[in-house]
Amino acid sequence: MKEILVPETSHILYNSDSRKMDKLSNESVNLVLTSPPYPMVEMWDDLFKSWDKNTKSALAKNLGNEAFEAMHLQLDKVWSECFRVLKEGGILLVNIGDATRSIGGEFSLFSNHSRILQACRNFGFSSLPDILWRKQTNSPTKFMGSGMYPVGAYVTYEHEYILVLRKGGLRKYSKSETEIRRNSAFFWEERNVWFSDIWDLKGERQIFKDVGASRERTAAFPLDFAYRLVNMFSIKGDTVLDPFLGTGTASLAALLACRNSVGYDVDEGILEIARKRLLGAMNVSSKILQNRLQSHLDFISDRKKQKKEISHKNKHYGFPVITSQETELTFESVDSSIENGHFSLKAHYSRFNLQNSSKK
C-alpha cells in the first residue's frame, strides 16, 4: 500500500492576544475556525471591559447599542488579522450566536452574526452560504417575556450561526496538493448531511474548577462539529487557526483530521486543558475513524438491500463508494502525539485499517 501523504503534523498553542497575531506571517493559514466571545452575553463582559474602556463606560451607563459596537470593534481587530494570515482562497468559519439582553430595563436583540458579516466584508472577505446550528440547549420551561400573554412574549433563541467567508476566489491547488485533495475526500452520504444549511448537534458546556483557569466556563462547540468543518473546508496537511482556542476543540479536530493547527488564548490555564486534550488524541482517533467507516459500510449495505446501483470501489480499502471522487480517499489514525516544546506538539500517523469492520 502506498505511503501516506501527510505522515506528521504540528500543533502550536500561543498564550497571547489574537488581536495582534504577529507570530504568524502573511498568508500562512488555510482555514480559520473559531467561536469568539459573544458581545452582549454577560459571561464575556469582563473580558470586553478589560480590552476597552469604552465598553466599560457604555455598560455602566446602560447604553446597549454603544456597548455592542465597542465590543465588536475589538473583535474586528481579530478578523482583520485573520484576513492577513489567510492564504488566497482560504476560509474563515465563525460560530456566533446573537444575544438577547435587557439594558436599562429595555429588552433587545443584538445581532452579532450580521455585525461580524458586515465587518468581514469590509475587510475584503466574500460571504458564502452559512449554516444554522440548532443547539436546543434550553430547558423545557424556556419562555421569554410575558409567557402566554401577548404582546410582551418573545421568540426563544435556540440557534447559532456558522458564518462561512472566503478570502479571494476559489482556491488553486499545486500538483501535490491536488493529490492530497483527492486523498482528503469525504463520503457521498457525508456530503449530503454536512453541506445542509441546518445542523442539529447538541452544544457543550464545560465547567472548570481547580485547573488554574481564570474563567470558570466556556461555551465550547462539540468535537463532532469542529471535525466536520475541518474536513469540509481544508485538506490534509493544511494549517487550521483558532484565534480563540479555549479548550482546544478546533486544534484537536485538526490533529484528528491530519491537519496542522495554531491556537491563541489569553488564559494559560485554559490552554493547559487544550494541551492535555491534544496529547490524548490517540485515544479518540481510532474511535472517530471506525465510526465513520462503519457508518459508510452500513449505508452501502442498506443501499444494496434497496437494489440501488453502486458503481465504484475505493482503491485503498476495496469497499463500494457512490462516486469516482471517493475512490482515493483514505483515513489516517494518530500513532502518537508528543510534545516538542512549550505548548508545542507533533502528531504522527499511519494508514487506518478496517479492523473488525467487514466489507459489506
Give the domains, in start order, of the chain with CATH numbers: 8-351 (3.40.50.150)
Residue 267's CB: how many other CB atoms inside 10 A? Answer: 19
The pLDDT score that the predictor gives to residue 201 is: 82
The whole-model pTM stands at 0.92
Grid coordinates belonging to 355: 479492523
Tell me the residue length of the chain: 360
The pLDDT score that the predictor gives to residue 213 is: 44
Cis peptide before 29 (omega within 30 of 0): no
Whole-number percent of the chain with pLDDT over 90:
83
State the burial class of residue 144 (Cβ atoms within 10 Å of its Cβ: 0-12, 13-18, 19+). middle
Closest by Cα among 192, 128, 123 to 163 = 128
**pLDDT tens, residue order, the chain (360 aa):** 467 999 999 999 999 999 999 999 999 999 999 999 999 999 999 999 999 999 999 999 999 999 999 999 999 999 999 999 999 999 999 999 999 999 999 999 999 999 999 999 999 999 999 999 998 655 555 556 777 788 888 888 889 999 999 999 999 999 999 999 999 999 999 999 999 999 998 755 443 443 444 444 455 789 999 999 999 999 999 999 999 999 999 999 999 999 999 999 999 999 999 999 999 999 999 999 999 999 999 999 999 999 999 999 999 999 999 999 999 999 999 999 999 999 999 999 999 987 644 444
The pLDDT score that the predictor gives to residue 209 is: 42
State the burial class of residue 309 (Cβ atoms within 10 Å of its Cβ: 0-12, 13-18, 19+). exposed
